[in-house]
Structures are given as structure tokens and as C-alpha cells.
Amino acid sequence: MKSKKINDCLDRFHVEIPTPGDQKEGPPSMPQAVLEAKAKQAAEKEKRTTEKDLENENGGAGVYSASLKMNYILAHDEWKEDIMPEILDKHNVFNFVDPDILNRLEELEREEGIRQAEVDDDVEMGGMELTPEEQKTLAQIRKKKSLLIQQHRIKKITAESRPTVRRIFDKDEFTKRVWRQLSELGIDPRRATN
């Protein structure tokens, strides 16, 4: 015992050493019922198949692909390998997939190009034909407008990725604030900066 009061407890301890009396060995004994129960339990216990066992049976590492659906608890086991639908906003995404979407998009772009060409050919304002000079000016205005829209889109995209600068780090504002506070306290701010 590791204690300061060990001397107070020593008179309570007594260590007994057994002495052989009749020269017989006394091995540990277990009741027969316990031995039978252990043997029965070992016989009933089946070795559980682990993922490592399945991997070794099916080609080893690099060949075997673990099935994550193996432990699903379903009414029928054949349902485990069914393809699961992708759900988005409580709707099956596959219901909205159109295999001909690219063809339709190209067709719409062609139609839009044809309509735009018709509008460009048939440029009228208030039922009057435009002079070549007015058409040139109109083309410049439309070009400038589309350029402004593109610049705004680029500015908007870059503004989203640019972090906002907190006012604390605005050096000019910070310097003015410090000068004002020092002046209010009656301290000459020029002495503080030098």
C-alpha cells in the first residue's frame, strides 16, 4: 500500500501461506453443467461473415466492390439492388429529364436566330423606315447596351467572390477617427503619429 498511514493499518493485515497437508493436488474445478453450457454455446455460435471474408471470396482487394445496400432492411431482399430515384423538392428528378433536350435547344436557337434576322431586316420605328444613318446609330446603341449588360454580369459574378472589407481596416477612416479621439482627450495627435 502506498500511503502515509500504512503504519496505522499494518496491524489489521494478516498474510497466510497455505501448507500442504495431505500431499494431494487441488486443481480448479468447474461444475459439469457450466462446462456443458460453454460447449453448447460454442457449437451454436456461427462465425459472422465480415466484409473482409466477402472480399477474399470474391477476388480480393482491387477486384471486389463492397455492396453498401447489403444491410438494407426491406420487405423483399430482391428490392435491395433496385435503382433508387433521385428526389429533389419531393419530386423524382427522372420524371423531368428529357433525352431530346439538346436537340430542342438547338432548334430553339435556330428559330431565335431566324426571328432576330427578320427583326433586323425589318427595322421600323412607328411604322417608318429608318435611314441608313439611323440604322447605324441604332446598331451602335444596341451594341453598347449589350456590352453594358455583359459588363454588369461580370461585375456581379466577381463581386460575389470578392470578400467585403470591414470598416475597421479602412486606414484613412481609422486614422481620422484616432485623430478625433485624441483631440477630444486633449492630446496632440501629431505627437502620437511621430
Question: Looking at the domain assignment, is residue 177 inside a domain?
Answer: no
Task: Say which residues have a Cβ less than 8 Å from residue 9's Cβ, sequence separation at least 6.
Answer: 1, 3
How many domains are there within the chain?
1
Q: Which of 70-79, 82-91, 131-140, 163-172 has the lowest mean pLDDT?
A: 163-172
> For residues 2 and 83, which has the higher predicted lDDT (pLDDT)?
83
Computed over every residue of the chain, the mean pLDDT equals 81
Specify if 92 maps to a domain.
yes
Residue 87 and residue 91: Cα distance in Å, rounded? 5
Task: Flag whether 94 is in a domain.
Answer: yes
Is 157 in a helix, a strand, or coil?
Answer: helix
pLDDT one-digit tens code per residue, 158-191: 776 676 666 666 677 778 888 899 889 888 888 7
Position 56 in a domain = no
Judge whether 89 lies within some domain. yes
Q: What domain range includes position 114?
A: 82-123
What local confidence, expressed as pLDDT, does residue 128 receive?
Answer: 66
In a domain, 112, yes or no: yes
Q: What is the pLDDT of residues 27-66, one digit of tens each?
A: 778 899 999 999 888 877 777 788 888 899 888 888 888 8
Q: Residue 138 and residue 128: Cα distance in Å, rounded?
A: 14
Which of 182, 179, 183, 163 is CA-nearest to residue 171? 179
Task: Give the Cα-Cα-Cα angle 132, 136, 138 (nearest 5 degrees).
Answer: 115
155: in domain: no
Output the DSSP codes for 90-147: TEEGGGG--TTHHHHHHHHHHHHHHHHHHHHHT-EETTEEPPHHHHHHHHHHHHHHHH
**Is 160 within a domain?**
no
Question: 3-state DSSP call for residue 40?
Answer: helix
Is a pLDDT exceeding 60 seen at residue 139? yes
